[in-house]
Amino acid sequence: MAGKTMVVTSGKGGVGKTTTVANLGTVLATKKYSVVMIDGDIGLRNLDVVMGLENRIVYNLVDIIEEKCRIQQAMIRDRKINNLCIIPAAQTREKDAVQPEQMKALCSELAEEFDYVIIDCPAGIERGFKNAIAGAEIAIVVTTPEVSAIRDADRVIGLLEANMLKDIHLIINRMNFKMVKKGDMMSTADIVSLLSVPLLGVIPESDEVVISTNRGTPLVHDRGSRAGQAFRKIAARLNGESVPLDDDRGDGLLGRMKRFFKS
Amino acid sequence: MLKAIRRFFGEKPSGKLARQRMQVVLMHDRLDLTPDVMEALKNDILAVLARYMEIDDQSIRVEMEQGKDFMALVSNVQVKRLYRKPLTQSI
């Protein structure tokens, strides 16, 4: 049976696309699904360093497209998990080295073999974006609670719909629940109502993200991390497991207990 | 404390302000209508109005107007005469 192909996109740069891809891919792979992650950011590759696999690259995405190697040769297996691998982007090439149709063909070929094909989309809405979304059936839009990220996310959602990619989900990254409580940050409900796309989950702002990328080990390996926990829940929802969304309010044990006694 | 004083004097929390600004900005972005969509909209409005009144086809104007915190669709049509009953029950 063919696997699921999904693209993680945002419009704006630096909102956490690559972190999201690395963590979701890792969780799904620990759930025993076979996962391949494709770095779609040709010329500015990053998924390899976030995964800590930068020293193992021989071939890349463009080499596959140009048939300089077989798909298998360009795939790099994760250090910890056997059924997880990445296809790195080319670093010294231009985005137009790949055509949307070629990406589409590659993704459907990979979907034959893998349960999940996750594409890390570059920032922007130009060629790289069009390539990255070409082979995907599901789109995950990542935003942060800032006006610039939300505006770009809305633009991207419009473009996805215009490209007949209608299965769109939202992740809000870097949420600061303390600021929301003070009224100094848009809340989850505010953002969801602005963008009107179903919510997959909310990742709390956390220093752990920087630390895990410094190490090249996805956050979700750390069982105690709150942000990692949020990624695990999102991956479960993607996988069709029912995990209630109201756990994502981030109000800690006390808040959860209050809600428990209220209900 | 300073914030509490400012709130007391009617300063909006910045989160709320951000939401209101985004509502307007996104509406504006989304309403970046292409000329042919605008033309289709104009024709649909004309078709509806024509059931109730005789209008001057050439006179219709449809424009989006930006207010301080809202967006408005403004349409001007010259009416020649009103019908006593709508021409058809539904489109």
Domain boundaries, chain A: 4-262
Q: Judge whether residue A151 has pLDDT over 90.
A: yes
Residue B22 to residue A186, Cβ atoms within 8 A: yes
- pLDDT greater at residue A249 or residue B39: B39
Residue A151 to residue B26, Cβ atoms within 8 A: yes
**CATH entry 3.40.50.620 includes domain A4-262:** no
Nearest CA in chain A to B27: A194
- pLDDT greater at residue B11 or residue A186: A186
Element (H, E) at A257: helix A252-262
Q: How far apart are CA A111 and CA A132, in angstroms?
A: 15
Q: Judge whether residue A247 has pLDDT over 70.
A: no
| For range A165-173, the mean pLDDT | 96
User: Which pLDDT tens digit goes with each residue over B19-62?
Assistant: 998 988 888 788 767 777 888 888 898 888 888 999 888 888 88
Q: Is B20 an interface residue toward A (CB < 8 Å)? A: no
Q: Which residues lie closer than 8 Å to A208 by C-beta, 6 or more apart?
A: A219, A222, A225, A226, A227, A228
The number of CA neighbours under 13 Å toward the Cβ of A224 is: 1
Q: How much is the pLDDT for A191? A: 97
DSSP code, position B70: -
What amino acid occupies position A110?
Answer: L
Residue A158 to residue B30, Cβ atoms within 8 A: yes
User: Which of A176, A178, A186, A191 is the mutation pick for testing B, counting most B CBs within 10 A?
Assistant: A186
For the packed helices A188-195 and A147-162, what is the interaxial angle rounded to 10 degrees?
A: 30
The number of CA neighbours under 13 Å toward the Cβ of A131 is: 26
Residue A194 to residue B26, Cβ atoms within 8 A: yes
- pLDDT greater at residue A81 or residue B5: A81
- pLDDT greater at residue B81 or residue A29: A29
DSSP code, position A167: E
Provide the pLDDT confidence category of residue A19 given band limits of 50, 70 and 90: very high
Cβ contacts below 8 Å, chain A against chain B, sum to: 42
Q: How far apart are CA A192 and CA A189, in angstroms?
A: 5
Chain A residues near residue B34 by CB distance under 8 angstroms = none
Q: Which residues lie closer than 8 Å to B39 by C-beta, 6 or more apart?
A: none
Nearest CA in chain A to B4: A182
Chain B residues near residue A151 by CB distance under 8 angstroms = 22, 25-26, 29
User: Which pLDDT tens digit goes with each residue over A179-219?
Assistant: 999 999 999 999 999 999 999 999 999 999 999 999 999 99
The C-alpha angle with vertex A112 and arms to A127 and A162, in degrees rounded to 5, equals 35
User: DSSP letter string over A94-136?
Assistant: -GGGS-HHHHHHHHHHHHHH-SEEEEEPPSSSSHHHHHHHHT-
Q: How far apart are CA A37 and CA A15, in angstroms?
A: 18
Residue A151 to residue B15, Cβ atoms within 8 A: no
**In whole angstroms, how far apart are CA A231 and each of A23, A77, A110?**
6, 21, 24
Q: Are the beta carbons of A54 and A35 closer than 8 angstroms?
A: no
Minimal Cβ distance to A180: which of B15, B25, B26: B15
Q: Judge whether residue B73 has pLDDT over 60.
A: yes
Element (H, E) at A12: none
β-strands A199-204, A167-175: how paired? parallel
Residue B14 to residue A183, Cβ atoms within 8 A: yes
| For range A130-140, the mean pLDDT | 97
Chain B residues near residue A182 by CB distance under 8 angstroms = 13
Q: Judge whether residue A248 has pLDDT over 60.
A: no
A125-129, A228-232, B42-46: the lowest-pLDDT one: B42-46
Residue B29 to residue A147, Cβ atoms within 8 A: no
Interface of A with B (CB under 8 A): 147, 150-151, 154-155, 158, 179-180, 182-187, 190, 194-195
Nearest CA-CA distance, residue A152 and chain B, Å: 10
Minimal Cβ distance to A183: which of B13, B23, B30: B13
